[in-house]
């Protein structure tokens, strides 16, 4: 029932989109940049500050000042007015910002579909501020031992507590897992944690370009076997296309970065570096 609900929301999101934003022709690209149309989906890294120091993350390398609340709310208005339908918040840790409730409320008022990625540590005390979210991603990087070795002692229990309190508060939750050499051996246990908590599951692959820690990459010979295990998990929401891309290197038809999608950094500047296929 939950997954039907989730599917219905996604349909609404895409059917509600401006057709030309989804099906633009190659020759229209430059026109799109010049015109008023904005990407369908925007991710805002709303702060680089974080209360954890994860072994695979590079957020702490950037210490730019976050944009203030008034400018942030104005940015949401501009994004919505330009035709964007879907907004995602990441960081750093978005809940480090004490105005996150106000930001979510503004997104709701502007009719945006809103998701947020969190490490969960601050969620139980802030559930009331997060009620406007359509989806709360909580990062789960392993079983208790592995998650805590990546994210610090006690944080596995905190993310599970976060999932329970968000679900109890009526917020749809997905665990978000980054596959790496550190956690692929406990993938069965991670699947059981997802199944036991009955929340959605999104899986992505570690990117080591920024950190330079190539030893954190998953052994390419094991990747297919691991992905095939992941595919069987009932609550998995990662697209088949992305999983095929990981296993077979199947080319993605088009990259929508800058046209269908863009990222705004904590200073309020936009970047076009990735493609939202997962
Ligand atoms: C950067 S964090 C920010 C949100 C929040 N602080 C958290 O821990 O979920 C967002 C997600 O990116 C993932 N991530 C961090 N470094 C990564 C990397 N090098 N490659 C791929 N994903 C990464 C994290 O595990 C987390 O699930």
Does any ligand 1 atom lie closer than 6 A to the CB of residue 217?
no
Residue 245 has pLDDT above 80, yes or no: yes
Non-local CB neighbours of 154 within 8 Å, separated by 6+ positions: 148
Does any ligand 1 atom lie closer than 6 A to the CB of residue 117?
yes
The pick from 117, 163, 278 for probing ligand 1's pocket by mutation, whose C-beta has the most ligand atoms within 8 angstroms, reads 117
Does any ligand 1 atom lie closer than 6 A to the CB of residue 122?
no
Look at residue 60 and give its three-state secondary structure. Answer: helix
- What was the pLDDT predicted at 276? 43
Non-local CB neighbours of 97 within 8 Å, separated by 6+ positions: 46, 47, 66, 103
What digits encode the pLDDT tens for the residues 82-104? Answer: 888 899 999 999 999 999 999 99
What separation in Å is there between the alpha carbon of 3 and the centre of ligand 1? 24
The CATH number of 38-271 is: 3.20.20.70
Give percent of the chain above pLDDT 70: 79
CA pair distance 5, 157, nearest whole angstrom: 28
Nearest CA to ligand 1 atom 8: 119
Which has more confidence, 36 or 230? 230
Give percent of the chain above pLDDT 90: 64
Tokens 């904005």, residue located: 38
pTM score, two decimals? Answer: 0.86
Mean pLDDT computed over 189-197 = 97
CA pair distance 201, 236, nearest whole angstrom: 5
What separation in Å is there between the alpha carbon of 204 and the centre of ligand 1? 10
Non-local CB neighbours of 183 within 8 Å, separated by 6+ positions: 141, 142, 146, 147, 150, 177, 190
Residue 180 has pLDDT above 60, yes or no: yes
* Domain edges within the chain: 38-271
**If you ran DSSP here, which 8-state letter would residue 209 be given?**
T
The pick from 44, 140, 178, 265 for probing ligand 1's pocket by mutation, whose C-beta has the most ligand atoms within 8 angstroms, reads 178
Does any ligand 1 atom lie closer than 6 A to the CB of residue 69?
no
Which has more confidence, 26 or 148? 148
Residue 39 has pLDDT above 80, yes or no: no
Mean pLDDT computed over 58-62 = 73
What is the chain's mean pLDDT, rounded? 85
């Amino acid at each position: 029932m939950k997954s039907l609900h989730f599917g219905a929301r996604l349909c609404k999101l895409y059917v509600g989109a401006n057709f030309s934003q989804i099906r633009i022709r190659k020759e229209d690209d430059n026109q799109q940049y010049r015109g008023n149309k904005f990407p369908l989906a925007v991710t805002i890294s709303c702060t680089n500050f974080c209360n954890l120091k994860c072994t695979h993350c590079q957020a702490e390398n950037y210490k730019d000042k976050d944009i203030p609340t008034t400018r942030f709310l104005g940015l949401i208005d501009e994004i919505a007015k330009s035709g964007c339908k879907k907004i995602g918040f990441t960081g750093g840790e978005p809940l480090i910002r004490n105005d996150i409730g106000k930001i979510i409320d503004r997104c709701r008022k502007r009719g945006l579909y809103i998701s947020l990625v969190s490490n969960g540590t601050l969620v139980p005390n802030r559930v009331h501020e997060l009620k406007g979210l359509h989806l709360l991603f909580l990062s789960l990087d392993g079983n208790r031992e592995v998650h805590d070795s990546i994210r610090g002692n006690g944080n596995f229990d905190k993310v599970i507590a976060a999932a329970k309190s968000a679900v109890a508060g009526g917020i749809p939750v997905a665990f978000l897992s980054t596959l790496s050499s550190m956690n692929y051996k406990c993938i069965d246990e991670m699947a059981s944690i997802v199944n036991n908590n009955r929340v959605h599951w999104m899986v992505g692959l570690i990117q080591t370009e920024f950190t330079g820690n190539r030893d954190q990459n998953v052994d390419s010979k094991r990747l297919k076997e691991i992905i095939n295990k992941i595919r069987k998990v009932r609550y998995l929401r990662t697209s088949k296309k992305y999983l095929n891309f990981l296993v077979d290197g199947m080319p993605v038809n088009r990259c929508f970065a800058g046209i269908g999608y863009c990222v705004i950094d904590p200073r309020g500047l936009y970047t076009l570096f990735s493609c939202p296929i997962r």
